A and B are shown apart, each in its own frame.
Chain A
Amino acid sequence: MLAFSFNDTLLVATVLFSIGLAGVLVRRNMVFMLMSLDIMLNAAALVFVGAGARWHDATGQVMFVLILALAAVETAVGLAIIVCLHARGRPTLDADTGNLLRG
């Protein structure tokens, strides 16, 4: 079995996190922002799993499942918000259009 050291895991997680962060900041489409957000969550979860493997603790994998559920819920809510906005007459996926307080 190819054993990944903890450091490598952290490195991969960092890279994934940066990709996700860059995606959130750079992309204007709200669906893509949600996807990048999911990538960030998954990167954090990866750190948990790697830590669990490092210290031989099953809590890491438990945290992964928790985070997975959290990501799912959050994506669902986010998409629901987008659908609501569409329904209320703002049919746009552009994140920058919400810059006036009148919403």
Chain B
Amino acid sequence: MAEILLPLLVLCPLAASLVVFISAGRMGARAIGTVACAGVGISAVLSIILSVMLLSGPVAGGLQVTLWPWMRVAGLSADIAFTLDRISMVMVLVVTIVGLLIHVYAAGYMRDDPGIARFFGCMTLFVAAMLVLVLASDLLCLFIGWEGVGLCSYLLIGFWYDDPANTSAARKAFYMTRMGDVALLCGLLLLACATGSLRIGSVLASVADGRLPASGVNVAAAFILVGALAKSAQIPFQAWLPDAMAGPTPTSALIHAATMVTAGVYLIARVHDLFAMAAPVMALTAVLGALTLLMGACTALVQSDLKRILAWSTISQLGYMFLALGCGVWQAALFHLMTHAFFKALLFLTAGAVIMRAGHEQDIFRLGGLRRAMPGLTAAFVAGASALAGLPLVTAGFYSKEMILSGVWHVHFGLAREWTLSGHPLWGIALLGAFLTALYIFRCVFIVFCGKAGTRAAGRTSRLMGIPLVCLSVLSLFGGVIEMPDTLPSLHLFSALLDPGTPLSHADEPVWLVLAGALAPLAGLGVAWVLWGRPSPVMREIPGQAGVIRPARTGRGMDVLYDRVFVQPFRLLAWLTRLDIPGHAITGTGRLTRAASAGILGVRAGLLDMLAMRATGTARWAGHLPGLFQNGRVRWYAAWIAGGLCAGLAMAVLS
């Protein structure tokens, strides 16, 4: 039964994609939307069926299907094979269910776009590739899905290709993720060379047996980390994600929030046994994750484009997941991945609906007071924002963030001889990040939805777009109760689901840890309310950004506090992100390459052409030389005959 259902899971979106591509232009928009949603919908149903089958079966192992042998040579055996175990089950459910909701929404959102066939073809192809990535039981098969989602991301970011800014953003995304892909490929080569097979199970077993030297394990883990960093837009690869917002909003929701950018997190969670043996790489992951989450949060605070705020927020939340991975609590990372998919997709889709109704206005300072015109969208956005901020007890985001924070607190990295990095500073950064998250997202909420009305909003949101928003709101608020921290009634369904062998509870956890985690977002909410939420808001923009809008209300202590504590570091960080060093490095390398290539071409053309001309000239001249002997003069011929005769006679006589 599983042998048929598991490949069918991947085949349905793929078939839908092919149907949509081949019949482009001949089907109406409605039919295309129906076909695409049907493809993903059948996948969602199948994934639920398969999950039930998996959970009711034996605990260890999973459902394995080997489709066909891919490459079998001496030294490598790779198959196209799918495995559904608990980790991939979680991901499959997230991808298909959230994907289905986003497809339904997109059927309404893209209804009037002439390129809708191309859009849905790419979206369903993306879902198929993501499912291949998630289900692959062979790292090389995973690589097919990995690159496939990169391709679909390129096609979808540059969807409105008439604007060259969109196509160049698409190319930038592809190049940066390609660099990570090459690093991942090098890691795969190292593992294949050492173990002869890229099956995940056998690779992890060989590593556990110690067949790789310690340096090999570290290098392989480092390569895989670089690949994951590029795909998930972490430091130093973060520059492509904000520009990727040039694509349609459903794309941003599906690819750049819920699924593709989390592929890196999934990969590291999959090979967490390998990473567990590479302590320096784990420390590096945690540190990079912490830095990214802080940087993302600070940058989101100074953005004025609605979708860019959400993009930087995604980068920041991915930083949380990498921090969790680096600290060894990969279950927390996956839990946060799941809740993040819910609330980030919700935020993006709501933002898309808001932007569409406000006449494609994306600047938050020109939108305003929309809560009266769009009450439903306001509620959805506030639900998503609360989940993102992690408001205590009522939102899913709280529980996932809590799990990460407790995991980070308890970690110790033993790096060099006496040098241990305790988890406490990282915990502090994560807590600060939680505060900033609440701050920036509620800044956005208050500016967009409260206050004076800005742009006029028109029309109404169709039901096709509204129903997914409702579903996602429910999931964002209540989807987290399956994993609660220990101080509350201890319910560890999620981690028990993933890894029944190692329970995650910490009996010695101080109670104030949970309280701190609960208070930080509330504090952020409060500060945001004070600064932007009150009827006469304290400030409209960050003073450092706008220059001279420093309100004259110097009496309020909060202004002084804000100025002292926030503005100066924000200026620095915003300036740093605007510098976009990797982006300029890439552009500079490209220009350097072009100049050097033109130079080399010129030299080569000149040199070789000169050589070729000389060679032909010499050949021609040398050809003329014997021609001089054929001048037609009788005396000349007679002289040569006589001379030759004399020489011949001399030789005959004298030798």
Report which A residues bind B (CB closer than 8 A). Answer: 21, 24-26, 28, 33, 95-96, 98-101
Tell me the B327-357 residues at the A interface (CB within 8 Å): none
> Do A25 and B639 touch across chains, with their CB atoms under 8 A apart?
yes
- Please give the distance in Å from A92's CB to the nearest CB on chain B: 14
Interface flags for B278-292 (1: CB within 8 Å of A; 0: not) read 000000000000000
* B638 interfacial contact with A, CB 8 Å: yes
Q: How far is the CA of A80 from the CA of B421 in the complex (A)?
A: 121
Tell me the B631-655 residues at the A interface (CB within 8 Å): 631-635, 638-639, 642
- Please give the distance in Å from A93's CB to the nearest CB on chain B: 13
> Do A24 and B632 touch across chains, with their CB atoms under 8 A apart?
no
Q: How far is the CA of A33 from the CA of B635 in the complex (A)?
A: 10
> Do A99 and B639 touch across chains, with their CB atoms under 8 A apart?
no
Q: How far is the CA of A43 from the CA of B446 in the complex (A)?
A: 131
Q: How far is the CA of A33 from the CA of B634 in the complex (A)?
A: 11
Closest to B643 in A: A25
Closest to A25 in B: B639
- Please give the distance in Å from B542's CB to the nearest CB on chain A: 97
Q: How far is the CA of A40 from the CA of B631 in the complex (A)?
A: 25
> Do A25 and B642 touch across chains, with their CB atoms under 8 A apart?
yes
List 4 additional A-B contacts (Cβ < 8 Å) besides A95-B633, A101-B632: A33-B635, A95-B634, A95-B635, A98-B633
Is chain B's interface secondary structure helix, strand, loop, or mixed overall? helix
Max chain A C-beta neighbours (<10 A), residue from B631, B635, B638, B639:
B635
* 9 interchain residue pairs of minimum CB distance: A99-B632, A99-B633, A25-B639, A96-B633, A95-B634, A25-B635, A99-B631, A100-B632, A95-B635
> Do B635 and A96 touch across chains, with their CB atoms under 8 A apart?
yes
Residues of B within 8 A of A (CB-CB), count: 8
Q: How far is the CA of A95 from the CA of B631 in the complex (A)?
A: 13
> Do A25 and B631 touch across chains, with their CB atoms under 8 A apart?
no
Q: How far is the CA of A21 from the CA of B642 in the complex (A)?
A: 9
- Please give the distance in Å from B393's CB to the nearest CB on chain A: 113
> Do A98 and B634 touch across chains, with their CB atoms under 8 A apart?
yes
Given the complex, which residues of B lie within 8 Å of A101, measured CB to CB? 632
Closest to B631 in A: A99
> Do A24 and B633 touch across chains, with their CB atoms under 8 A apart?
no
Report which B residues bind A (CB closer than 8 A). Answer: 631-635, 638-639, 642
CB < 8 Å A-B pair total: 24
Q: How far is the CA of A59 from the CA of B644 in the complex (A)?
A: 31
Q: How far is the CA of A101 from the CA of B639 in the complex (A)?
A: 19
Given the complex, which residues of A lie within 8 Å of B631, measured CB to CB? 99
Given the complex, which residues of B lie within 8 Å of A33, measured CB to CB? 635
Q: How far is the CA of A33 from the CA of B632 in the complex (A)?
A: 17
Given the complex, which residues of B lie within 8 Å of A21, measured CB to CB? 642
List 13 A-B residue pairs with CB atoms under 8 Å apart, sorted by A's residue number: A24-B635, A25-B635, A25-B638, A26-B635, A28-B635, A33-B635, A95-B635, A96-B633, A96-B634, A96-B635, A99-B633, A100-B632, A101-B632
Q: How far is the CA of A99 from the CA of B630 in the complex (A)?
A: 9
Given the complex, which residues of A lie within 8 Å of B638, measured CB to CB? 24-25
Given the complex, which residues of B lie within 8 Å of A100, measured CB to CB? 632
- Please give the distance in Å from A79's CB to the nearest CB on chain B: 16
Q: How far is the CA of A54 from the CA of B585 in the complex (A)?
A: 106
Given the complex, which residues of A lie within 8 Å of B634, measured CB to CB? 95-96, 98
Given the complex, which residues of A lie within 8 Å of B633, measured CB to CB? 95-96, 98-99
Q: How far is the CA of A96 from the CA of B631 in the complex (A)?
A: 10
- Please give the distance in Å from A94's CB to the nearest CB on chain B: 10
Given the complex, which residues of B lie within 8 Å of A96, measured CB to CB? 633-635
Q: How far is the CA of A99 from the CA of B637 in the complex (A)?
A: 11
- Please give the distance in Å from B642's CB to the nearest CB on chain A: 6
Closest to A100 in B: B632
- Please give the distance in Å from A41's CB to the nearest CB on chain B: 15
Q: How far is the CA of A21 from the CA of B640 in the complex (A)?
A: 12
Given the complex, which residues of B lie within 8 Å of A95, measured CB to CB? 633-635
- Please give the distance in Å from B597's CB to the nearest CB on chain A: 55
- Please give the distance in Å from A13's CB to the nearest CB on chain B: 16
- Please give the distance in Å from B384's CB to the nearest CB on chain A: 99
- Please give the distance in Å from B637's CB to the nearest CB on chain A: 10
Q: How far is the CA of A22 from the CA of B110 in the complex (A)?
A: 105
- Please give the distance in Å from A25's CB to the nearest CB on chain B: 5
Q: How far is the CA of A101 from the CA of B634 in the complex (A)?
A: 12
Given the complex, which residues of A lie within 8 Å of B632, measured CB to CB? 98-101
Closest to B646 in A: A21
Given the complex, which residues of B lie within 8 Å of A28, measured CB to CB? 635
Q: How far is the CA of A24 from the CA of B638 in the complex (A)?
A: 8
Q: How far is the CA of A100 from the CA of B633 in the complex (A)?
A: 9
Given the complex, which residues of A lie within 8 Å of B635, measured CB to CB? 24-26, 28, 33, 95-96
Q: How far is the CA of A95 from the CA of B634 in the complex (A)?
A: 7
Closest to B632 in A: A99
Closest to A24 in B: B638
- Please give the distance in Å from A96's CB to the nearest CB on chain B: 5
- Please give the distance in Å from B205's CB to the nearest CB on chain A: 90
Given the complex, which residues of B lie within 8 Å of A26, measured CB to CB? 635
Closest to A103 in B: B632
- Please give the distance in Å from A74's CB to the nearest CB on chain B: 15
Q: How far is the CA of A33 from the CA of B639 in the complex (A)?
A: 13
Closest to A26 in B: B635
Closest to B634 in A: A95
Q: How far is the CA of A98 from the CA of B639 in the complex (A)?
A: 16
Closest to B630 in A: A99
Q: How far is the CA of A33 from the CA of B633 in the complex (A)?
A: 14
Max chain B C-beta neighbours (<10 A), residue from A26, A95, A101:
A95
Closest to A33 in B: B635
- Please give the distance in Å from A32's CB to the nearest CB on chain B: 12
Q: How far is the CA of A8 from the CA of B341 in the complex (A)?
A: 125
Q: How far is the CA of A21 from the CA of B645 in the complex (A)?
A: 13
Closest to A28 in B: B635
Given the complex, which residues of A lie within 8 Å of B639, measured CB to CB? 25
- Please give the distance in Å from B644's CB to the nearest CB on chain A: 13
Given the complex, which residues of B lie within 8 Å of A25, measured CB to CB? 635, 638-639, 642
Q: How far is the CA of A24 from the CA of B639 in the complex (A)?
A: 9
- Please give the distance in Å from B146's CB to the nearest CB on chain A: 77
- Please give the distance in Å from A14's CB to the nearest CB on chain B: 12
Max chain B C-beta neighbours (<10 A), residue from A21, A26, A99:
A99
